[in-house]
Structure 1
Amino acid sequence: MPARGNALTRRIRSSGGKLLRRFGLLPGGMPDGIGDDAALADATLDGDVVVYFPDTQDSLYQLRTWYGPLRELHRAQGVTIVCMDSRTAGSLRAEMDLPVVTIALDATLDSIILRSDTKLVLYVNYNPLNTAALRSRSAIHVSLLHGDSDKVVSVSNQIKAYDYSFVAGQAAIDRLERYTTLFDAPARCIPVGRPSLDTDRVEATSRADDRPTVLYAPTWEGGQSSAAYSSLNSHGPAAVRSLLAAGLGVIYRPHPLTGVRVPEYGETDRELRELVESAGGRVSTDRPLQHDFADADLILCDVSAVMGDWLPTAKPLLITRSADPQARDAATALLGMSPRLAAPDASRAGSLARELIDHDLLREERVELIEYYLGNTAPGASLARFLEACERLSARRDELWARIREQEHPAADDSA
């Protein structure tokens, strides 16, 4: 018998739960399950590809990193985004022009994927709710994730649930081979670079601030102790004050989930916003990451995906060392060669940043790592690899599914 879930889930599924969903009183991380199921009873989905995103609006940043590539994939093969939360679906419809539907019932999802002859289902995270779509055996399931990093989530055992994973480059494959047992990374991983770096590419522009500028981009507090990489509380205030005291411009880019799990991080975030704005810096919350990259001379960041995305700029970086003794890295070459900033040294961030900007002794070594992490970074190359991989897997799905259907429904014996 399938698990019935916890008491809260059972209450939400009751008639009282329906009222909670209808009036928006659900806990923040729980999808409301207000679906278009009735209207979809006999419908089919547009295109060959489904992006399954059962999350709430808090996690939309994960899907936003794929907006550009998904628009191009929609032009090539047709894409429908399937949500489990009507509020998330509403935000998606306002932000992009791809078809979006909300499906609450597993039975609706399974039948519409089969009826639509969906070839690929793409996922941008490891949400346990992804299993609703993963049940479908008529499509190929591909993990995209929303960044490539040395976080332990990048080598999660959950990767085994997906038929294939699109990864940034050889570094990701090597990381998985090193840290993930019983997983054939070379066979199951397809390097596509970072297609969003192509679609979100910006040219350097003249700056309003002519001071050398540091981008401080901490990650959030993480969902578990082994992934507690955020420097916001341990390093943030001292580091930002040190950067400003050294005469450096500061761009502060808070993570969208800051303070969601630990309220104290939200309090520190508000403190840093006030500090940076009062000093004439920028708090960046509503513009593409590539704009912040273009305006900065150095990045101060945690162990996160921005490390690899920053690499093609060829500019120096300073990576924090987590103050949480339980945090674990899935270390690769970039993390091993880069300068690290421990919490007790946060008050020296300004002088360290000045030294790295003025004397970038590791530039050539970082440039040599670009292809290892991202493959060919020529404009358009990553996007082309992404689209080609989707087309190739779609063709493979058709071959495999035709074989399965033939085994299930063999042709009548003409000799009878």
Structure 2
Amino acid sequence: MPVDARKSSVARKVRSLGGQLIRRWGLVPAGTPDGVGEDENLVGRPWPFEVMVYFADTTEAIYQIEQWYRVFESLDAEHRVVVVTRDSRTARSIRDGSMLEVRTIARAETLDDILGRSKTKLILYVNHNPENFGALRFGNLLHVSLMHGDSDKIVTVSNQTKAYDFSFVAGRAAVERMARYATLFDADERCIPVGRPQLDEQAREREAVTLSRPTDDRPTVLYAPTWEGGQPSAAYGSVATHGAAIVRAILDDGRFRLIYRPHPLTGVRDAAYGDGDSTIRDLIRRAQDELPEVGHTVDGDGDLAVAFGHADVLICDVSGVAMDWLATGQPLIVTLPTADVVVARSALTDLVPRLPAGDMDGLPNLVARELDEDPTGAERRALQEFYLGDTTPGASTRRFIEACERLFRIRDTEVARVAIGELPGEKSVEPRETND
């Protein structure tokens, strides 16, 4: 072998060894999967899982799958579920927070080997990570986008949705939103309303929290903004533009308790959001020192249902938080973005009060009016089924499981058709159920 070739070979081996050590020592930069897989123990063996949840992110995005834990556990009780990650740290976090089976797969060929031997029929995705294409390439399985909340953000009508065979959505509102804003996409055919199964668990937790609320009788305002977004067109967050002014207005007025619940990714892309978050926390810290009995607080962890259970009115941005709050039947105020973002106009955002940046002098009286009179309450409650489907506890989880089972049958029919070389429509297949 020529000298230059030997040097190149040695260099590759050194880089490979260095990469392995960096991964093993946990020194991989945040946001990059560590690639520490269980491949050696998985190759050559089938697994018993009918459903695979593919989550290629690192722990910074764990909140996106956390809200699905209880739902996936309910599905697993009837049809075995496995979560596949590309990061061992993410896998540990999921195991710590759930009862789900988790496997970390670093190499593409490992997934080929396993799925070629196993009875997996369905792959579920909770986000649009580009790494999802590592699993989307399998044509003998059905691929379903779940996402991690329903909202009027542009991501809910993203062209990326077309990559999946179907999308499970909350209610008829999501289907109509996709039909209105997505080009060349048959929303009625490919969107399946299942409700918000997360709300089944949230309703129980919210009721328990409500029964144990503080004795101080002042109403509670929950300010739960979203983050700055991954790109300017999705900058719906208010922390940098509205946040400090909202918090000052509520604290200075004195009639309300304030809970601030920032998005987990606040400040990761835009330093102005990190600065705004710090200012808000400082304001609340001073208020806590001056009036500890009131209970102003920053809610940085835990289930959203706990914050919902303590709150009487919500101030939030265009986000999935607004949709989930709709199930409570309580007043809602939504901020008006200052950036040039795309908002899918909807019945809810047209109905509720919108809060622009700038002068917040009138905010406390607006909050008081919403609490005392709730002028849009009847109309909001009438929209619950349109946005969320049947909110009877347990109904959405059951509908989710039944939708998965229906897709099992559709997948089996399609695989059989392809195996004998039929064209679509040459034989009758199971009709799609209506979602009205």
Q: Quickly name the TM-score band, shorter chain normalised.
A: over 0.9
Given the two structures, how large is their TM-score scaled by the length of structure 2?
A: 0.88
2:273 pairs, out of 262, 265, 273, with: 265
Q: Does 1:300 align with 2:300?
A: no
After the TM superposition, which of the residue ranges 353-362 and 155-164 deviates more from structure 2? 353-362
User: Which residue of the partner structure matches residue 5 of structure 2?
Assistant: none
* Match of residue 69 from structure 2: 67
Name the CA distance, whole Å, in 2 between partners of 1:13 and 1:240.
50
* 1:243 aligns to 2:250 (yes or no): yes
- Aligned twin of 2:43: 41
- Which of residues 374, 380, 392 in structure 1 aligns to 2:388? 374
Alignment of 1:159-178 (within 5 A): 159-178=161-180
Deviations 1:1-34 (A, max 9, x none): xxxxxxxxx9998443333322222221111111
> For residues 13 and 339 of structure 1, do their structure 2 counterparts lie closer, same or farther at Cα, with a shift above 3 Å needed?
farther
**Structure 1: 5+ residue stretches without partners:** 1-9, 409-416
Q: Could you give the per-residue CA deviations for residues 336-363 of structure 1, whole angstroms, max 9, x where no partner exists?
A: 1111111113343222211211121110
Out of 231, 235, 251, the position equivalent to 1:228 is 235
Report the aligned-residue RMSD.
Answer: 1.8
Q: Which moved more, 1:79-88 or 1:282-291?
A: 282-291
1:263-312: per-residue Cα shift (whole Å, max 9, x none)? 33223223322322442312112221112112111100000001110111
Find the aligned partners of 2:115 and 2:281 in 1 and give their Cα distance: 45
Judged with a 3 Å threshold, the aligned counterparts in structure 2 of structure 1 residues 12 and 108 are, in CA distance, closer, same or farther, namely farther
* Cα 1:348–1:171 shift into 2, 3 Å: same
In 1, the alpha carbon distance for the partners of 2:15 and 2:144 equals 30
In structure 2, the residue matched to 1:288 is 303
**Contact 2:316 2:333 (8 Å CA) reproduced:** yes
Distance 1:381 1:12, change over 3 A: farther
Equivalent residue number for residue 183 of structure 1: 185
Aligned length: 398
In the other structure, the counterpart of 2:431 is none
Query: How many Å separate the matches in 1 of 2:268 and 2:15?
Result: 25
Change (3 A) 1:84 1:238: same
Query: Structure 2 CA distance, aligned partners of 1:13 and 1:195?
Result: 46
Corresponding letter in the other structure for 1:269: D
* Counterparts of 2:314 and 2:14, CA distance in 1: 44
Q: Aligned partners of 1:27 and 1:350: how far apart in 2?
A: 43
Question: Which residue does 2:94 correspond to in 1?
Answer: 92
Aligned amino acid, residue 391 of structure 2: T
Structure 2: runs of 5 or more not aligned: 1-11, 288-294, 423-436
Q: State the secondary structure of the residue aligned to 1:129.
A: helix
Corresponding residue number in structure 2 for 1:315: 330
**Partner residue, 2:8:** none
Q: Which amino acid aligns with 1:211?
A: R
Tell which deviates more after alignment, 34-43 or 217-226.
Answer: 34-43
Sequence identity of aligned pairs in percent? 53
Residues 315-345 of structure 1 deviation map (CA, whole Å, 9 limit, x = unaligned): 1111001111x21101211011111111113
What amino acid is the match of 2:235? A
Aligned pairs for 1:202-221 (under 5 A) are 202=205, 203=207, 204-208=210-214, 209-221=216-228
SS at match of 1:344: coil
Name the CA distance, whole Å, in 1 between partners of 2:58 and 2:121: 25
